[in-house]
Amino acid sequence: MSNSKLRQRIVRHSASRGQDSPDVWGIYEPDTGSIQYICADPVTKKAALIDVVWNFDPKPYRVSTESMDQVLDLVRENGLTVEWVLDTHPHADHVMASAHLKERTGAPNAIGSKVNEIAAIWEEIYNLPGIFDPARDFDRLFSEGETFRIGELEMRVMLSPGHTLGSITYVCGDAAFTHDTLMQPDVGTSRADFPGGDTGQLWDSIQVIFSLPAQTRLFVGHDYGTEDRDEPMWEATVAEHKATNRHVKDGTRREDWIKRRDERDATLPLPDRILAALQINLRGGRLPEVEDDGRAYLKLPVNRF
């Protein structure tokens, strides 16, 4: 894609629609096509930060903070107070900013409780038994159906497995943060071939998301543009997805989608950041402890994938 808009940091505000409807800012991170979110109560100005990126360059293995800095600048510019630092799952394609945002805002950080099962899978892959401790690195591990508040707004947790076995969706009024389940309607759906992923579970999770009210705003985790669209997008309603999503619109048969998704996933390369990202993200976005030379090191399996 030649257009420069896919290589720019873009911010869009999706305004509250009234009572029980949050303000949402989406911040596009171009290196990984990730969308970071601020979800805020327009009355109290309390906010949650969702899936914010700690920038990681896989060539020199160098981290930097420009994405989280941009998110925190938006928080300040809009007079918001951060109450929660949230992630929907341990990301494979970017490094999460969770631990650093917790330190910088004082807000608790959280993720889904099934992160413990994901950690067990990756401890075996890295041959590092017992290395991950989500209860140590996250303040809350949310289960299906749990609720918490952002100011006067209620946020509800829905378990949405498939992309990973522990992915969760956050629902706040007429906004739902659906992470790596759906892509934009003109793209379709997300992959389900990572360790612990399951195509059938992903289909079922999408159907639960589609059971939300028709005008619910669905905010997806990634966008990479299309042959016909060279500007990133990340918001569409349940009704728009059900009418036009190229993979799972109304009338799509489960077995047809599973076959199509599995065939597509078999052609996709491993993300270039995954083996570093999971080793950091399953620590809540912390690097391993520094060694006697003052530097942190990652362990990477050779010929595993």
| Residue 252, token pair as written in the block | 């799509």
Return the higher-pLDDT residue of 284 and 4: 284
Q: What is the mean pLDDT of the chain?
A: 96
Residue 300 belongs to a domain? no
Average pLDDT for 201-206: 98
Average pLDDT for 254-269: 97
Proportion of the chain above pLDDT 70, given as a percent: 99
Please determine, for residue 224, whether its predicted confidence score (pLDDT) is greater than 60: yes
Residue 190 belongs to a domain? yes
* pLDDT tier, 154 (very low <50, low <70, confident <90, very high otherwise): very high
Residue 250 belongs to a domain? yes
Instruction: Name the amino acid, one letter, at 46.
Output: K
In the block, residue with structure tokens 């896919």? 6
Plot region of 113 (φ>0 → left; ψ -120 to 50 → alpha; else → beta): alpha
Please determine, for residue 5, whether its predicted confidence score (pLDDT) is greater than 90: no
For residue 32, CA distances in Å to 57, 81, 270, 278, 303 come to 10, 27, 13, 15, 24
* pLDDT tier, 3 (very low <50, low <70, confident <90, very high otherwise): low
pLDDT value for 252 = 98
Residue 75, domain extent: 4-281
Proportion of the chain above pLDDT 90, given as a percent: 96
pLDDT value for 8 = 86
pTM above 0.85? yes
pLDDT value for 196 = 96
Q: How many domains does the chain have?
A: 1
- Dihedrals φ, ψ of 164, to 5°? -130, 165
Residue 237 belongs to a domain? yes
Dist CA 202 CA 160 (whole Å): 7
* pLDDT tier, 1 (very low <50, low <70, confident <90, very high otherwise): very low
Among 140, 69, 77, CA closest to 105: 69
In the block, residue with structure tokens 């543009």? 225
Strand order in the sheet with 140-142: 11-14, 23-29, 34-40, 46-50, 81-86, 109-112, 140-142
CATH number for the domain spanning 93: value is 3.60.15.10
Return the higher-pLDDT residue of 5 and 118: 118
Residue 214 belongs to a domain? yes
